[in-house]
Structures are given as C-alpha cells and as structure tokens.
Amino acid sequence: MNDVRPLDSPELTAALKGSRVVIVASRSRKGTPFAVPLWFVAHGDRIYTTTSASSWTVRNVVATSEVALLFGGEGGADASRLLVNGHARAGRGAPPYAVAARIAWRYYLQPEFAAVELRHARLWRLRLRYYLQSRAAYIAIAPEAAIKCRAP
C-alpha cells in the first residue's frame, strides 16, 4: 500500500471523528461499481471496516485494491462531504485485537450506545444468528488523497 497518509489532514481527522458510517465504493475486476455503507474505525495509518467474507466489497478489494470512501451526510442538512481515495486489502476473520476493541467501544460500549444495546438485548440471539451465516472479514484501507466536496 502507498505510504501517503492524509490521516494527518485536518479534514480527514474531522471526518473520522464526526462520522459513524462511511460509504465504501469498490469495483470488480470487470469494472462493475459497488458501494455500501459500513461502520469504521481509524487505527494507526489505516481505516478499518468489517463485513462478511463473501460480500461484494471483499470480493472487489481482492480483485482490485482501489477504493473510494465518502464521509458526511449523516447530519441531514449539511451538504459537506469528504471523498477519500486509497488502496485496501481484505483480511479473513476478525480484525486485529486493537481494531476490534475500537469497534466495540465506538459502536457498542459507550454509555449512549450501550443503553440502546441493553434495551434490545432480546434481539441479540437473532443478531448472532445473522452474523454467523457467513465468515467474518475486515478491510484495511490506506487513504492516499482527500478531496472536500458538496452533495448536490
């Protein structure tokens, strides 16, 4: 992966802190585009997402490592976006422990999110069945360029 790291850019730092979801765009070996919203965390100089090992995103990253990430739009009225280009690699199984810990903290263990999880505890078994339908995978993305843009 390229060593250029816009993680040092203030725009990307703000997007990583202000967004809870990123749209990950990839393409197949034949060039067919695919985009999906995913949870993410930053760790070191990479952005990590998790998904199913059989997902189109993982298949596409294995075929061609170029990806684009779109941050912003979760707040509704704000049209500001950040488009990040980079290269990715897919890993089978769970992400590295430090990444998994960040995901757990960011999306499940913080008090406001833990309260929601506890209110829906009766659904955990159903969620577990859903997740166990396929094998886990993660995607490590090395961001290379970031461009500010606006939604139409």
Give domain status of residue 56, yes or no.
Answer: yes
Give domain status of residue 20, yes or no.
Answer: yes
Q: Provide the mean pLDDT of the chain.
A: 90
DSSP tag of 7:
G
Give domain status of residue 55, yes or no.
Answer: yes
Give domain status of residue 130, yes or no.
Answer: no
In this model, does residue 8 exceed pLDDT 50?
yes
Q: Residue 22's pLDDT is what?
A: 98
Any idea what the Cα angle at residue 151 is, between residues 146 and 152, rounded to 5°?
Answer: 140
Give domain status of residue 79, yes or no.
Answer: yes
At residue 115, the 3 state secondary structure works out as: helix
Q: Name residue 134's beta-bridge partners.
A: none
The structure's pTM equals 0.88
Please give the tally of structural domains in the chain.
1
Mean pLDDT of 98-125: 90
